[in-house]
Amino acid sequence: MVEISLTNTRTRTKERFEPIDPKNIRVYACGPTVYDRAHLGNARPVVVFDVLFRLLRHVYGEDAVTYVRNFTDVDDKINARAAVTGRPIRDITEETIGWYHDDMDALGALRPTHEPRATDYIGQMTSMIEDLVAKDFAYPEQGHVLFDVRKFPEYGKLSGRSLDDMIAGARVEVAPYKRDPMDFVLWKPSAGDQPGWDSPWGYGRPGWHIECSAMSAELLGDVFDIHAGGIDLQFPHHENEIAQSRCAHGTEVMAKTWLHNEMLQVEGKKMSKSLGNFFTVRDLLNQGIPGEVIRFVLLMTHYRKPMDWTAEKVREAEATLQGWYNLTDGIEADSSMDFLIVDALADDLNTPAALEKLHRFSSSSAARLKSGMRLLGLKDAEETDWWRTTIVSLSSTFSTGDTPLYLSEIVPFLEKWQQLRLAKNYEEADLLKKRLEGTGLSVIVQPAGPVAIVPHGFDPKLLEAIEL
């Protein structure tokens, strides 16, 4: 069997992955807070851990892997969005979850085995908090319940911070209901216009950290194989998860292996709205950047290294994929050399090395290239059309494949152009041709009649401004 090695943040070493139960591998990844579109930084862990999911399924079998990624659908950001828009919270979260699925599907990410919503697990959260209070790891105060970090000596081990150093460096006002500045909220009171649930401590709602501990325990058990997320979640979110989970369950670890992907930049700078370089996945898709290209760019950098999204990388990824799709269109895949791709991924999810193997296949075997692309979650050529160079004529549509593109939108203009030429109305014919070419089309006359050559990324909506 393939030997998988992963860099464990908990131990700060690259370790051989040895599942607790090879027939029941359990993985948890922190998901989005559903109040707005997912930005590109949100997409990086989705793609990275989708590769992990695919690798584990390939090595151990599809039925042997359970992957959980949650939706945080109770949060102050969601409450604020509801207050600003006047929309019900449920409408906002339902809409945002739909957007998230659409956008992550476009990137070729498989749906996890389970996608729990925090609001469906309030009972498990309150039970866990009650347990922590009963064991004297947490205390109620002024309608809140706080975790007492001093009761957990290993607090800070995941992020490599000492508790005293964290307190010395803190620049936050200490709430009057806290015994210690680093104590964190497990439960907090809700006002009448805020979402809330009845609890032993009054009407309120859970803190952020408790939800992942409760849902992972319910769906994966007290101890599971891998917990994953962005490096920005390492502290305090993952640190707090470990503290409350281990104290509640009395275990030595919460997860055997912790994986964290590094942050993303845009053209060498931190992505931010103030710099004008902040964009969502949907923004990129609407700009005509295909999901496969976005995925390819995200795979070009090892997950443990900071990633820089650049226009040059987008152009490189698009050109590479166009070439690969032209090579692999219509052929049968050959999986005989898949082990080379699997070996690269098994070495701490080394996606750049896997892409290099695909580059070698592209010059030696298109069939092996096609199979290798599938392992990285890249669609087959036959499943997507953006890469095709298309020729539209009055009689038929020809392309590098057999999918008609833009036929109904373009043919009426070709018919009009032909009518003008046959009527020797060359001035209007030339004007129509000029307008069509202004949309990006190339319009020419062939022996069989007029033809339009459609470029990659053509937007047929541009034709709406041209009168027939």
pLDDT in tens for each of the 468 residues of the chain? 899 999 999 999 999 999 999 999 999 999 999 999 999 999 999 999 999 999 999 999 999 999 999 999 999 999 999 989 999 999 999 999 999 999 999 999 999 999 999 999 999 999 999 999 999 999 999 999 999 999 999 999 999 987 776 765 555 557 889 999 999 999 999 987 889 999 999 999 999 999 999 999 999 999 999 999 999 999 999 999 999 999 999 999 999 999 999 999 999 999 888 888 889 999 999 988 999 999 999 999 999 999 999 999 999 999 999 999 989 999 999 999 999 999 999 999 999 999 999 999 999 999 999 999 999 999 999 998 788 767 777 765 554 444 456 788 898 999 999 999 999 999 999 999 999 999 988 888 877 788 888 877 788 899 999 988
Whether residues 310 and 362 share a domain: the answer is: yes
Cβ partners under 8 Å of residue 255, min gap 6: 10, 28, 223, 224, 225, 226, 227
**pLDDT of res. 401:** 45
The rounded distance, in Å, linking the Cα atoms of 336 and 428 is: 59
For the domain that residue 152 is a member of, what is the CATH number? 3.40.50.620
Alpha helices by DSSP H, 396-448: 407-422, 426-438
Whether residues 291 and 243 share a domain: the answer is: no
**pLDDT of res. 403:** 47
Domain limit, last residue, from 242, 261, 280: 261
Angstrom CA distances, 45 to 38, 263, 350, stand at 12, 9, 14
Note whether 29 and 69 are within 8 A (CB): yes
**pLDDT of res. 446:** 75
The rounded distance, in Å, linking the Cα atoms of 132 and 186 is: 10
The rounded distance, in Å, linking the Cα atoms of 134 and 323 is: 63
| DSSP 8-class letter at 3 | P
Note whether 241 and 209 are within 8 A (CB): yes
Domain limit, last residue, from 220, 242, 261: 261
461 lies in which domain range? 390-465
Whether residues 210 and 327 share a domain: the answer is: no
Domain limit, last residue, from 323, 354, 383: 383
Q: Which residues pair with 166 in a beta bridge?
A: none
**pLDDT of res. 451:** 84
Whether residues 327 and 433 share a domain: the answer is: no
Whether residues 327 and 456 share a domain: the answer is: no
Whether residues 257 and 283 share a domain: the answer is: no
pTM, two decimals, is: 0.85
Whether residues 270 and 144 share a domain: the answer is: no
Note whether 286 and 279 are within 8 A (CB): no
**pLDDT of res. 1:** 85
Place of tokens 């015994």: 179
Whether residues 240 and 330 share a domain: the answer is: no
Whether residues 202 and 288 share a domain: the answer is: no
The rounded distance, in Å, linking the Cα atoms of 35 and 75 is: 9
Whether residues 253 and 271 share a domain: the answer is: no
The rounded distance, in Å, linking the Cα atoms of 67 and 51 is: 12
Whether residues 433 and 328 share a domain: the answer is: no
Whether residues 276 and 418 share a domain: the answer is: no
Q: How many domains does the chain have?
A: 3
